[in-house]
Amino acid sequence: MDLRLSGRRAIVTGGSRGIGRAIARALLAEGVQVVIAARDADVLKAAAADLTAATGGTVLPVVADTGSDTSVQELVETTVSELGGVDILVNNAARPGGAGGPGGARALSTADVAADFNVKVLGYLRTAQAVAPHFIAQDWGRIINIGGLAARQVGLASGSIRNVGVAALTKTLADELGAHGVTVNVVHPGLTLTGDHGGTVVVPDEYLQAAAARISIGRAVTADEVASVVAFLASPLAVAITGESIAAAGGGTQGPIHY
């Protein structure tokens, strides 16, 4: 299917590893020019080189910290200067899993949660604020926020807090920007295998087997499969979908009905 994305320009934060890198690759395959942003310059440059070699597309690595207002503004300014504009924002930069550990909410460090919230929720807000004037001026844009299934279940307090926050931000932005041709959605991955896209965490086979029993399709999804969902939402074909929270985790058996 032609997603009608050729020539569009995208920013993918957290684009040097894992799901972010897979999303960048999927957009490049559709003819999108992509800026990948992350904090580690060496990893970022290596990822850009690999993506360019694999796709032949335009990949621009930009060192950025979404926890900083100044850094986010510079990221968007660099994108517009180098690519001539920006059409798509994929917010993916975040600490994997979020703050926390054994002990639940009572054991959380408020400083750790604040830092986590600053990067994922406020970071997503910063980037959305920075691209919004460009989207409004051209009467078109796409924002896809990467959340997580912790938004729909308990067990990791900080992860639940930040991903619910991302969902609320998503709906707010969708309502405010919809009249300007901009759609905003959140994609919630669950257990995701990143394969050879970098940042891979080795997951024990016994854990994967136990998890598969709770997933409707009988296995964990891959980063490429999540990226396909994001690429569609970034396209003109997805104009009817906005303000939605979309799980991309293979389904959950015997879980709640989301309606």
Indicate if the pLDDT at residue 200 is higher than 50.
no
CB of 119 within 8 A of CB of 72? no
Q: Find the mean pLDDT for residues 208-214.
A: 87
Phi, psi of 130 (to 5 degrees): -70, -35
Q: Specify the CATH number for the domain of residue 169.
A: 3.40.50.720
pLDDT of residue 198: 43
Residue 258 is assigned to a structural domain of this protein:
no
Query: Count of CB atoms within 10 A of residue 54's CB?
Result: 12
Mean pLDDT of the chain: 92
Indicate if the pLDDT at residue 205 is higher than 90.
no
pLDDT of residue 140: 98
Chain-centroid distance, C-alpha 140: 19
Residue 193 is assigned to a structural domain of this protein:
yes
The percent of residues in the chain predicted with pLDDT above 70, rounded, is 94
Residue 72 is assigned to a structural domain of this protein:
yes
Which of 110-114, 161-165, 175-179 ranks highest by mean pLDDT? 175-179
Report the C-alpha gap between 173 and 175 in whole angstroms.
Answer: 5
Residue 256 is assigned to a structural domain of this protein:
no
Residue 185 is assigned to a structural domain of this protein:
yes
Show the tokens assigned to 111: 């400083």
pLDDT of residue 107: 81
Question: Rg of the chain over CA atoms, in angstroms?
Answer: 17
Residue 3 is assigned to a structural domain of this protein:
no
Phi, psi of 171 (to 5 degrees): -65, -40
Indicate if the pLDDT at residue 229 is higher than 70.
yes
Report the C-alpha gap between 211 and 86 in whole angstroms.
Answer: 38
Residue 254 is assigned to a structural domain of this protein:
no
Q: In the structure, what pLDDT confidence band is assigned to residue 257 with cuts at 50, 70 and 90? A: confident
What are the pLDDT digits (tens) for 91-100? 999 987 666 6
Q: Into how many domains does the chain fold?
A: 1
CB of 49 within 8 A of CB of 25? no
Query: Which of 36-50, 108-122, 125-139, 160-174 shows the lowest per-residue confidence on average (mean pLDDT)?
Result: 108-122
Domain around 150: 9-248
pLDDT of residue 256: 85
3-state secondary structure at position 146: strand
What are the pLDDT digits (tens) for 28-76? 999 999 999 999 999 999 999 999 999 999 999 999 999 999 999 999 9
Indicate if the pLDDT at residue 6 is higher than 90.
yes
Indicate if the pLDDT at residue 217 is higher than 50.
yes
pLDDT of residue 202: 59
Indicate if the pLDDT at residue 156 is higher than 90.
no
Query: Which of 43-57, 143-157, 160-174 shows the lowest per-residue confidence on average (mean pLDDT)?
Result: 143-157
Query: Which of 73-82, 91-100, 162-171, 223-232 shows the lowest per-residue confidence on average (mean pLDDT)?
Result: 91-100
Which residue type, as a one-letter code, is found at position 8? R
Residue 242 is assigned to a structural domain of this protein:
yes
Q: What is the pTM of this model?
A: 0.94
Q: In the structure, what pLDDT confidence band is assigned to residue 253 with cuts at 50, 70 and 90? A: confident
